Amino acid sequence: MEIRPILSALLRNKTGAILIALQIALTLAIICNAVFIIHDRIVKMDRPTGIDVDNMFVVDMSAYTPDYNATAAIKDHLDLLRGIPGVVDASPSQAIPLSGGGWSSSFATVPDSKGNDVDAGVFHVDEHGLNTLGTRLVEGRNFTHEEIQYQNPDTYVHPSIGIVSRAMAEKLFPGQDPIGKVLYENNPRTITIIGVVDTLEGYWPSWEGFERQIILPTVFVRPNTRYLVRTLPGQRTAVMKVAEQKLGDSHDGDFLRHIRTLNYYMDSAYEGDHAITVMLSVMSGLILAITALGIVGLASFSVSQRTKQIGTRRALGARRADIVRYFMTENWLITSIGVILGSAFAVALNYWLVVLFKVSPISWYYIPVGVLCLWALGLAAVLGPALRAAAVPPAIATRSV
């Protein structure tokens, strides 16, 4: 089929074609970036945490007596929690992992690093912390009971030993064995690395250094105490009920404030990402539907305006397949113009998003995949009007004579 006659027909009635081409261009630009952001958020929410999230819960206790003995209460609570059937382990913790709030600090490999420090999340746990989190020790050793320091947070001094995540070790000592290496937090105090754990996410899922963590053997002695508890698979709900009852019945001068699953806090931290994913998914579906309706509308209008012309072509020997192919080719040309413009729009939109909102640059393959999808959408949308055009009988050409 000749392309030139189709182009000539489009130029004679170009307003509708231009509007549809621009609509397709904007659709491609928006859809490519939206799908990229959706995929980026889904990957972020599904990435390995290094923590046994589905089998963990968090206990918050608060004192109500002025003579509260925090050290004794912490030990009593831990003995109680670890003694519940179905509990794998429990540990005090100053903050909740994956919750969006916690403790961070800067570390360097030399004193007076002058801005070359590496930021990392800081976990404060006892010797049961690694087992409670479910993270895997891949090098070195764990803390011993004797190395755990009970400290008042107001007079906190960091311990002299620590365990780091693999990501932090690679950042600080690329290509080297980190065991025995020294870190500087508050010069001249140092921290000697005694162990390395595998993947371990910290407190802020959206932070670029989410896998850089250091674990310190510290238990904070204070009126408000938090415990992480890990259970056997499938027993978390039952264990939480028992823990709530036993902690409520204990009389250490404190009371149970909250007992919640770790998923609760993780879902709250990812709430914004989930909302963006849902919003962009709905928006993308609506935009594609509107674009398809626009293509159908233009094609239907074109068929109604050219009914006599179609009948004349049929009378001159054009087959139904020729009529269908004509409208499909016409739509393909309009769509092609739209996706060419849309590819440029998609790059420009992504650049604006990168500069303004610090999102990741779009992967190159999203645009050609988007082009193919828009071509397919255009051809599918125009098929109905094209088949109606092909059904126009040759006799229609003589009805006005």
d(CA 164, CA 180): 12
What mean pLDDT is predicted for residues 148-172? Answer: 94
Residues sharing a CB contact under 8 Å with residue 136, sequence separation 6 or more, in sequence order: 50, 197, 198
pLDDT, tens only, 227-286: 999 999 999 999 999 999 999 888 778 898 999 999 999 999 999 999 999 999 999 999
% residues pLDDT > 90 (the chain)? 72
What sections of 2-97 are H helices per DSSP? 3-12, 14-46, 70-82
Residues sharing a CB contact under 8 Å with residue 288, sequence separation 6 or more, in sequence order: 27, 31, 377
Q: What is the pLDDT of residue 401?
A: 44
pTM of the model as a whole? 0.84
Query: Highest mean pLDDT: which of 66-75, 129-138, 151-160, 205-214?
Result: 129-138
% residues pLDDT > 70 (the chain)? 97
Q: What is the pLDDT of residue 89?
A: 98
SS3 call for 91: strand
Q: What is the pLDDT of residue 262?
A: 97
d(CA 17, CA 291): 13
Check pLDDT > 60 for residue 58. Answer: yes
CB atoms within 10 A of CB 301: 13
Question: Quick check: 71 and 255 in contact, CB under 8 A?
Answer: no
Q: What is the pLDDT of residue 397?
A: 61
Q: What is the pLDDT of residue 1?
A: 54
Q: What is the pLDDT of residue 75?
A: 94
Question: Quick check: 228 and 38 in contact, CB under 8 A?
Answer: no
Question: Quick check: 348 and 262 in contact, CB under 8 A?
Answer: no
Q: What is the mean pLDDT of the chain?
A: 91
d(CA 143, CA 194): 8
Rounded (5°) CA angle 213-219-221: 135
- In 3D, which of 191, 202, 196 has the Cα closest to residue 109? 191
Residue 115: pLDDT band (50, 70, 90) is: low
Indicate the range of 76-85, 313-322, 349-358 predicted with least confidence.
313-322
CB atoms within 10 A of CB 367: 22
Check pLDDT > 80 for residue 329. Answer: yes
Check pLDDT > 90 for residue 289. Answer: yes
What mean pLDDT is predicted for residues 6-32? Answer: 87
Measured CA to CA in angstroms, residue 308 lies from 17, 314, 329, 393, 398 at distances of 21, 10, 20, 10, 8
